Every structure is written in structure tokens, then in C-alpha cells.
Amino acid sequence: MSTATLEITSDYAKLAVGYVLSGQPVLLYMAKRPLPNCMNKGDIIDSKAVSDIIKDFLKTEDEAAGLKLNVQTVSLILPPIGFTVYQSVKTTNVIASNGMIDKIDISNVMSLVRKDPLPQGSSIVDIVPDCFILNTQKVYANPPLGEKSDSLTVQAKIHTLPEKKLYDYRSTVEAAGFRIKRCCVATYCASQLFASDKTVPESYIYVDMGAKLTTLSLIGRTSPITSLFLYVGGDNLTDDIAEGLNLSFEEATRVKEKYGFDERKTSFMTPICKSQNDDGSTSLHYQKELNNIIKGFYEKFDTLLANALSTLVSKQPFKEPLMSLPLILGGGASSLNGLEKLLPESAKGRTLRRYVPHVLGARDPSAINLLGLIAADGSYKGTLEDDYHGVSTLSRNR
């Protein structure tokens, strides 16, 4: 069964349709639409404009691929601003007299988790069971339907976001005509894509580098533990390039994406772009100039990132093992050529890896969250969404 995933970011609305085969996401279709002047620091500031833009995804036709899609139900990806994870353990008695676990028992134990008190202003986005435990102490990753037990215990993580943010995103998407199957925080989505890739360790720090927002997340045993964020991203570098080389934002974006940071020595130098001066003359610009601008930006960014990493680790009770966790870089801004050389302080004592999805048609770091939610939807066996209309959807870790 295919899944449609929708993500609204600082600069684009993105849709992906795919399914899971042998534990790996397979992409059928992906598209994005720009969101000019619609977003600010992860908040939707023009809900109607966003709704009007994403309506375009309801009916999708790709003549080249011979594809026609009527996308009415989507799984929605939410930004991790204000994302908090709570641990919960709840137990319920099995209803059937023969002790056979049924869907109603799963529903009952999950309803106990949903009743856990939360800070005022927070809303549950998702509940992610780590495992289910029988009174015999047998442990199951999936709901143990059909197994016998007097009681059923669930260990689960509750994912929450500020109530207003969840409402704004849901109402905007629903106003466009979509039914929302489930909501998931972007950090969780990324962790599920990485969990499907055997080359990624179970525990790491994920740095999601977006256009205007960089999120740092501690992932333990393939599951998000905590996150923090910086209001700086790839667009800030583009602004510096545009100002430094006297280019438009669009041309600066092109130059950044095409050339990036490149210190290779050549026997001759050719200009990478040109700009028009106020007096009508033309200036030619070379890779060295671009390198200096990028290096200057990342000297400041690396300091911010290294400090944020220290803060992220310092909040945990066991700091020492976390000091050497590898860094996984993702998001659209991680595509910059030469990025690994520009983060010496952040990478000190750590392995640094820039992650590019292996999925055909989506070998782009900006697609990580979309593919991750496809992986998360497809990996859940015995979907129970229909039992939870109006409440958060049950999902699970791999």
C-alpha cells in the first residue's frame, strides 16, 4: 500500500508518494512548490496562501511518467520547534476471558498513555511504542495480537509539540482539502529512514540543515530523545553570497549550489559568475572569492553548532558516551560542496557523515523526512489508525 507524505518547510511544500519493499522506501512520485512569504521561523504566517499552493497536490499528473494521482489522504510532517519527548509505561488487564490479546486491549493500553498529563500548551503529536510486554515478560516490537496474557504493558514515547503549532499546520492542510492520516515530527521521520539503513548506527546526533532553521537531535537506539534548534540555515549563506558578489538571491543560490566550497588548485582560473556594477561596468568573480565568503559564514556557524552540541549533550545524565557520538548531516543545506571541511570544531572527536538517501529518484538530502515517514508508515504491521479517529495515530519504531 502506498503512502503520501507532505512536508511544509521554510521555503517549500513537498509531497512524496511511495511504499516500502523489503524494509526500504520506494519512491513513486515527488514534487515541491515554493512558499514565497508564507513562513517565518517555522510558523505559518499566511495560512490561506499555503492552502492554495498545496491544493495543487490533490490531483497530480506526470505525463512523462504516465502517472495520475488523486492524493486525498496524507501523513503530515511537522517542524521540531518545541519538540519534546516523554517516556511512558502503562499496563492494562486483558479483557478476553481466555487471555487472548485483541485490538481492544491495544486500544485500552494506548488510551492510558494518551491520558498522561502534559504541560499546559502542549499537544500529543504521536505515540511511538518501544515494545509491548506480556505478564510472562515476553517482549514484542509489534502489538502481540493473538498472544495469551493476563495483562499487557506498553513502553512508549510520547511526542509533543506546542498546541498552536500543531493546530496551525493541521488546519492549513485540512483547509486545502486533505484528510490527515497521521502527524509526525520531522526528527522522528529522519530517524526512521536512518533506521532502515544498516550503514547508520543506532545512536548518533542528527543535524538537519534547512533553509532558515538548523535542528540538532540526539537519537538513541533509532529513537529521538531530545532536540534543539538554531534560527540559521542555507538561506543565510545565500544572503552573504548575494551581498558579497553583488548578485541577486536567485543567482547566488545557483552559484552556491553549483560551485560550493572548492580549494582545489588549478593551473588557470576561470570566472564562476559576473555582476553588474552601479556605473554599468561588469565585475568577474572567481572561486577564491566564493570560498572566502563561505568560509567566513561557516566559521561563525561552526561556533554556534559546537556550542549547541555541548548544550544538547549537557542536558543528558550520561554525558561521556555522548561526547563521541557521530554526527549525521542532512537537510537541503547539507548539499553544499566541501561542507565537511567547514565544521572542524563541531566534528572534533566525532565521525562526521553527510547523508544522501539511496532511494532512486530522491537522492537528495532535502527528501530525508519524506522518505522517513514513508518508511515509518510501511514498517508498521497491523495498522491500527482506523481505531483512533480523532486522536494521535499509533506508530512504532523498527
CA–CA dist 332, 211 (Å, integer): 7
pLDDT in tens, 125-161: 999 999 999 999 999 998 999 999 999 999 999 999 9
CA dihedral (220, 226, 231, 235) positive or negative:
positive
Q: Under CATH, what is the fold of the domain 84-162?
A: Dna Ligase; domain 1 (3.30.1490)
Please give the pLDDT value at position 390.
34
Domain spanning 201-354: CATH superfamily: ATPase, nucleotide binding domain (3.30.420.40)
Asked if residue 339 has pLDDT above 60, the reply is yes
Q: What is the band of 397 on the pLDDT scale with cuts at 50, 70, 90?
A: very low
Query: What per-residue confidence (pLDDT) applies to 391?
Result: 35
Give the Cα separation of 253 and 235 in Å (integer): 8
Alpha carbon distance 248, 346 (integer Å): 31
Residue corresponding to grid cell 531530545: 226
- Give 68's pLDDT tier (boundaries 50, 70, 90): confident
> CA–CA separation, 41 vs 230, rounded Å?
10
* Pairwise CA distance, residues 171 & 167, whole Å: 6
CA angle, residues 218, 223, 226, in degrees to nearest 5:
35
Residue 243, all three cell numbers: 551581498
Q: Considering the entire predicted model, what is its pTM?
A: 0.91
pLDDT in tens, 169-221: 999 999 999 999 999 999 999 999 999 999 999 999 999 999 999 999 999 99
Domain 3-79+164-197+358-388 and domain 201-354, same fold? Reply is yes
Q: What are phi and psi of 254, to 5 degrees?
A: -60, -45
CATH 3.30.420.40 matches 3-79+164-197+358-388 = yes
What residue spans define the domains of the chain? 3-79+164-197+358-388, 84-162, 201-354
Alpha helix (H) residue ranges in the chain: 47-54, 103-114, 163-175, 186-195, 234-245, 249-259, 287-314, 344-347, 368-379
